Structure 1
Amino acid sequence: MRPIDKLAVNVLLISKAIDETEKVTKTTPKTDNGYFYMKNDALYVKFDEIDEHGTVHTLIKVSNGKALIQRKGHVSMNQPLVKNEEMAGSYSGPYGEMNTSAKTHKIKALWDSHLKQGWIQLNYELHVQGQYVGHFDLTYQISPY
């Protein structure tokens, strides 16, 4: 794959949220169609999440122990992630814009250029407006469309 060739992919997101009582509050598998590409040693996955409220355009970027989650639509999010660090971000939704911070425990990515499939794992604790909202474990499984 040349650096900016976009590959049409299916993106299966397996999202697990753990609340402050250490209970798994939600495990959600969800599949969307999107694109995978590589640029400047970074992996990018772009896809649209569609629900009853509309469409949210999502971009996941992973490079050298760092990641970025960007979402734009009826909810918006800009959350940088750096392993073993706490990073400030923002979230905007029905209740307005809020400050976020994430302490990241795991950022892993694997891409097999021959099989044209791979995965991204992100694991972090999220605070919104200074309040702990949960521990999130996200796995994006990426396969050819």
Structure 2
Amino acid sequence: MNSAETKVKIKLNSTILPVDGDRENYEMWLDGSLVEKSGKTYLRYTERLEEKEIRTTVKMGNEQALILRGGGVKMRLPFNIVQEEIGAYDTQFGSMPIVTKTRHLSYDYNEDKSMSGTFNVQYDLIISGQAVGKYTLEIQYSEVLE
């Protein structure tokens, strides 16, 4: 099992359109690593949110993808362009099932001279049978050339 790891700069754009509320936009620049393992591509990075450190792994694909978060926030967010998926969000009161309805999923990458790519997912988040909002996540990454 061979895996290659490349240091990357990550630009993360997140838009949340809650069912009741105003649109929220977030933009972050992060350092991370791109890992290729068994024919799959993973992006790993750590973000800080209100004194919490959140380790995130994004398994990127065009039909299925997965975001795993650990540390300050524990979450498993699966995406599937064909069907709704059930994930989990851990709260202080226990694990709560969440449903993702993927509207759009794309992963484009360029392996020519530098490793770079864009991962884009748009989904509805459903908690306890209720849609809570429409989410868009775009991640652009490019290799850090030493």
Which range moves more in the overlay, 86-95 or 135-144? Answer: 86-95
Contact 1:107 1:122 (8 Å CA) reproduced? yes
In structure 1, the partner of 2:17 is 18
* Corresponding residue pairs, total: 142
**Distance across 1 between alignment mates of 2:61 and 2:37:** 10
1:1-145 counterparts in 2 under 5 A?
Answer: 4-20=3-19, 25-94=23-92, 96-113=94-111, 114-145=113-144
**Distance across 2 between alignment mates of 1:120 and 1:70:** 15
TM superposition shift of 1:62: 1.8
Gap change, CA 1:38 and 1:135, over 3 Å in 2 = same
Q: Which amino acid aligns with 1:44?
A: Y
TM-score, L = length of structure 2: 0.88
The percentage of counterpart residues that share the same residue type is 25
SS in 1 for 2:23: strand
Contact 2:98 2:128 (8 Å CA) reproduced? yes
TM superposition shift of 1:74: 1.6
**Distance across 2 between alignment mates of 1:71 and 1:39:** 19
Where structure 2 has 5 or more consecutive residues not aligned to the other structure, the ranges are none
**Distance across 2 between alignment mates of 1:60 and 1:81:** 11
**Distance across 1 between alignment mates of 2:54 and 2:82:** 28
TM-score, L = length of structure 1: 0.89
Q: Which amino acid aligns with 1:45?
A: L
Q: Which amino acid aligns with 1:50?
A: R
Gap change, CA 1:94 and 1:53, over 3 Å in 2 = farther
Contact 2:77 2:88 (8 Å CA) reproduced? yes
Q: Which amino acid aligns with 1:98?
A: M
SS in 1 for 2:44: strand
Give the RMSD, CA atoms, in angstroms: 1.7
